[in-house]
Amino acid sequence: MNTIDLRGRVALVTGGTRGIGLSIAQTLHAAGAAVAVAGRDHARAEAVAGGLGERAAGVACDVAKIEEVEAAIAAAEKALGPIEILVNNAGLTRDNILVRLDEAAWDTVLDANLKGAFNTTRTVIRGMMKRRSGRIINISSIVGLIGNKGQANYAASKAGLIGFTKSVAREYAGRGILANCVAPGFIETDMTNALPAEARTALLEQIALGRLGRPEDVAGAVLFLASDLASYITGQVLVVDGGMVI
Ligand code: NDP
């Protein structure tokens, strides 16, 4: 089989309400999966799920808060069934150079981007273990591989996610659970729209393909890692950056 068919599978996409997460939710849904869209704003998550159509549910949680995560996952599983594909996409930035980076900016980023993935993964993994099957796909960043000025907190969270993913991959391979990262380069979303024009031009010069990425470029990589085509891939980091880091 060289086509992708996710019919009968249930996915949860954190941060599925906008940007890359929205595109991932749409792409997995179009491949036949039932999709739970998670965001902090319940009404927005429900509206996005409504836009997907049948086989979709909107749930609310701040991924940094374990009680909210547990409640959201319980609601998603009640609506759609056991989660077999977890996409940890929720993330945020609080950029500043190190000498001006305060503890709150450090904690907010680490709590959402790294602890968030711990919270969701720990909550779904017991079910995956029992069923001896599951896919965990964590959205890291090339910044987690090469660092970035003004993003020590964000880079640490995204590098941490890679170590977390590799450990989960080793720990649960024997239970049929595969864990991988996708590391996007610079993708056109709300997160990068804030970049000043000069920074954008400087960035473009570093990208071999000569353009910023689109959310669907990342979603395609996630779809592949969620599919049967990727059954022998675990503990890897798939870079989707238009040839920025070669
Ligand atoms: P956006 O800012 O466009 O969207 C972020 C999403 O994450 C929103 O759906 C938001 O939902 C959700 N979110 C943020 N914080 C939390 C939280 N604490 N709990 C739950 N949900 C949260 O970002 P992008 O689409 O650009 O980024 C998506 C992921 O891709 C992030 O992890 C980001 O770090 C990563 N990435 C992005 C790159 C880019 O160039 N854009 C490059 C490399 C990686 P809501 O506000 O509704 O709660």
pLDDT grade, residue 99 (50/70/90)?
very high
* pLDDT, averaged across the chain: 97
- Measure Cα distances from 245 to 32, 177, 223 in Å: 33, 29, 22
For residue 212, the ligand 1 atom closest to its alpha carbon is: 40
pTM of the model: 0.98
Average pLDDT over residues 5-13: 98
- The helices-and-strands tally (H runs, E runs) of the chain is 10, 7
Catalytic residue among 106, 154, 164, 186: 154
Average pLDDT over residues 73-77: 98
Sheet holding 10-14: strands in order across? 56-60, 34-39, 10-14, 85-88, 134-139, 177-184, 237-240
- Write down the pLDDT at residue 1: 60
Residue among 82, 79, 81, 83 at smallest CA distance from 14: 83
Whole-number Å distance, alpha carbon 22 to ligand 1 midpoint, is 10
Q: How many CB atoms lie within 10 A of CB 214?
A: 14
- Write down the pLDDT at residue 196: 87
Residue among 19, 59, 70, 69 at smallest CA distance from 35: 59
Backbone angles phi, psi at 199, to 5 degrees: -65, -40
**For ligand 1, mutation pick of 17, 110, 191, 212 (most atoms within 8 Å of CB):** 191
For residue 215, the ligand 1 atom closest to its alpha carbon is: 25
More confident residue, 187 or 191: 187
**For ligand 1, mutation pick of 89, 146, 153 (most atoms within 8 Å of CB):** 89
User: Is 232 known to be catalytic?
Assistant: no
- Local structure of residue 78 (DSSP, 8 states): H
Residues framing ligand 1 (Cβ under 6 A): 14-15, 17-21, 39-41, 44, 62-64, 89-92, 112, 139, 141, 184, 186-187, 189-192
For residue 88, the ligand 1 atom closest to its alpha carbon is: 32
Whole-number Å distance, alpha carbon 31 to ligand 1 midpoint, is 22
Summarised one tens digit per residue, pLDDT across range 203-238 is: 899 999 999 999 999 999 999 999 999 999 999 999
Q: Using H for helix, E for strand and C for coil, what is the string for 88-108?
A: ECCCCCCCECHHHCCHHHHHH
